[in-house]
């Protein structure tokens, strides 16, 4: 694969990362606080549900682009790493890549629990208690969980991005381990 093609893959990979990471930060720092300030529970719950559905789709599309472009770059980079020996761990690149994939798997698990399990459950409980305009203990518990999952998911995303940066810097990664 030519370095021109790899440059295009890196560009698409990093654009996917920008949407995935940037979307999480904008949601936590801008969207959620703005919606909470609306006051009318039913109104902000409807807006929150509409937003999270759309952001969920954009996030999944970004991760699909990240995985396809990242996956396409693995083979040509492994060929390069083999200059340091037949074993993936003969070059620093191998270690960094395996650490990145492990971090990625934990990130996907945390964000998946937030997006598909506790996030929808929190919306459901918030709707049930909207009429009473009071948070039930169960809603408070689930909200704490979704907040912990989204913060740890964001921290893991930053760690994966960091591992990616070390991976992409060949003056560091393409070096005997």
Q: Count CB-CB contacts under 10 A for residue 168.
A: 16
Task: Assess 167 for contact with ligand HEM (CB under 6 A).
Answer: yes
If 0-12 CB within 10 Å is exposed, 13-18 middle and 19+ buried, where does residue 30 land? Answer: exposed
Per-residue binding letters, 80-119, with ligand HEM (x by CB under 6 A): ------------------------x---------------
Pick the piece of the chain touching ligand HEM (CB under 6 A) from 25-33, 53-61, 142-150, 153-161.
153-161
Among 41, 143, 168, 177, binds ligand HEM (CB under 6 A): 168
Distance between CA atoms of residues 100 and 160, nearest Å: 6
Residue 167 and residue 93 in contact, taking contact as beta carbons nearer than 8 Å:
yes
Phi, psi torsion values for 129, nearest 5 degrees: -95, 5
Distance between CA atoms of residues 16 and 141, nearest Å: 32
Pick the piece of the chain touching ligand HEM (CB under 6 A) from 46-54, 65-73, 119-127, 131-139.
65-73
When the beta carbons of 38 and 67 are compared against ligand HEM, the nearer one is 67
When the beta carbons of 13 and 114 are compared against ligand HEM, the nearer one is 13
Among 1, 8, 61, 74, binds ligand HEM (CB under 6 A): 74
When the beta carbons of 8 and 74 are compared against ligand HEM, the nearer one is 74
Structure tokens at 123: 């919306």
When the beta carbons of 18 and 43 are compared against ligand HEM, the nearer one is 18
Task: Assess 67 for contact with ligand HEM (CB under 6 A).
Answer: yes
Distance between CA atoms of residues 115 and 158, nearest Å: 18
């Amino acid at each position: 694969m030519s370095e021109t093609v790899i440059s295009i893959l890196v560009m698409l990979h990093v654009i996917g990362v920008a949407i995935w990471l940037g979307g999480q930060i904008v949601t936590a720092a801008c969207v959620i606080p703005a919606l909470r300030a609306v006051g009318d529970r039913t109104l902000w719950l409807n807006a929150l549900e509409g937003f999270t559905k759309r952001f969920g789709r954009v996030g999944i599309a970004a991760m699909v682009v990240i995985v396809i472009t990242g996956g396409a770059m693995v083979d040509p980079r492994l060929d390069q790493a083999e200059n340091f020996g037949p074993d993936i761990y003969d070059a620093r690149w191998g270690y960094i890549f395996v650490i990145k994939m492990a971090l990625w798997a934990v990130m996907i698990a945390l964000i998946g629990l937030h997006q598909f399990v506790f996030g929808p459950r929190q919306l459901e409980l918030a709707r049930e208690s909207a009429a009473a305009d009071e948070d039930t203990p169960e809603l408070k518990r689930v909200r704490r969980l979704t907040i912990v999952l989204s913060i740890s998911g964001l921290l893991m995303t930053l760690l994966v991005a960091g591992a990616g940066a070390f991976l992409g810097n060949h003056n560091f990664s393409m070096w005997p381990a």
